[in-house]
Structure 1
Amino acid sequence: MELSDLQGGIHSPKDFLDRPVSQELILELLNHAVWAPNDGLREPWRFIFADNRNGKLMQGLQEHAPAYLLVLVKEEADHHKREEDFAAVCCLIQNFRLLAHEQGLGVRSTLHDWMYDRSRAETFGVLGNERIAAVLDLGYGAEQPEGKAEMAEPQLQFELL
């Protein structure tokens, strides 16, 4: 598969099948996704995998999904490092989405108000020097998109200096 073949071909599923997501698969995908740019080769991320077999883990916080991956980023005191680390985590999330797509695994990346509540985040194991960058809802999509969606060509703009 060529990345250029994707052109809008990665969709976030609206609904997931009631099919478990393997922790081993997530670990394998993460081992490849961590090849994200970062000055000094810092690895400012940590992950919390939550299997939702009992259905109540994220009830009221997230839409239902078979599993969730909390993507955490370290909060450096140095503003420059903090911004760079967050950018690297965003790259990692995109790498993960691409790799998951190859395996037929759907990923919804979500941001919710509860993520910024320190006491709520701590209940999930988030440390004092970390914050939740995103929660990834994971599962196999109930609907598989047919073919490539027709999308307008992006209109890129740039200026020469």
Structure 2
Amino acid sequence: MQLADIRTGMRDASHFQNRPVPQQLVLEMLDDAVWAPNHGLREPWRFVYVDNGSGDAMQNLQEPAPAYLIVVMKEDPNPHKRDEDFAAVFCLIQNFRLLAREKKLGVRRTMHEWIYDQKRSRLFGVREKECIAAVLDLGYFDQMQEASFTPLIELKFELL
């Protein structure tokens, strides 16, 4: 499989099968996805895995999914480093999505309002000087979903 061949198939999953997502699979994919450090080789991320066996932890916060991966980021007081860290975290998330696609695992990236509420974040073990960058809803879907558009990069490409 070529990376260019899957770009049209990348789209967040909307409906998941009622099938568990093995924690070990998530760990294996994260081992490869973390190859996204910034130039300072900082790894500003941490992960909290929540599955359906964790009770109602995500009820009324997220759409239903067999599992969730909460991506936590260190908040550096230096705005330049914080921006670099945020970019690295989202590179990691894209790596994870590409790896999940190989495993036929659907990923829905969300950033609901509750992630900015420190009180709620603390319930998931988010520490002081950390924030939730995104929540990845995880699950298997019956068939791969195709993207509904192909962006025309020439419309956003300028020469000086």
**TM-score under structure 1 length normalisation:** 0.92
Q: Does the alignment pair 1:154 with 2:148?
A: no
The amino acid that maps onto 2:8 is: G
Gaps of 5+ in 2: none
Q: After TM superposition, give the deviation of residue 151 of structure 1 in Å.
A: 3.8
Return structure 1 stretches of 4+ with deviation > 6 angstroms. none
Residue 41 of structure 2 is matched in structure 1 by 41
Change (3 A) 1:160 1:11: closer
Q: After TM superposition, give the deviation of residue 89 of structure 1 in Å.
A: 0.2
Q: Whole-Å Cα distance in 2 between the matches of residues 22 and 124 of structure 1? A: 19
How many residues end up aligned between the 2 structures?
159
Q: Which has the higher helix share?
A: 2
Q: Whole-Å Cα distance in 1 between the matches of residues 121 and 147 of structure 2? A: 37
Query: Does the CA-based 8 Å contact 1:55-1:64 persist in structure 2?
Result: no
**TM-score under structure 2 length normalisation:** 0.92
Q: After TM superposition, give the deviation of residue 159 of structure 1 in Å.
A: 2.7
Q: Whole-Å Cα distance in 2 between the matches of residues 89 and 80 of structure 1? A: 14
Gaps of 5+ in 1: none
Q: Whole-Å Cα distance in 1 between the matches of residues 51 and 7 of structure 2? A: 31
Aligned-residue identity in percent = 58
The amino acid that maps onto 1:43 is: E
Q: Whole-Å Cα distance in 1 between the matches of residues 4 and 72 of structure 2? A: 29
Residue 2 of structure 2 is matched in structure 1 by 2
For the aligned residues, what is the CA RMSD?
1.6
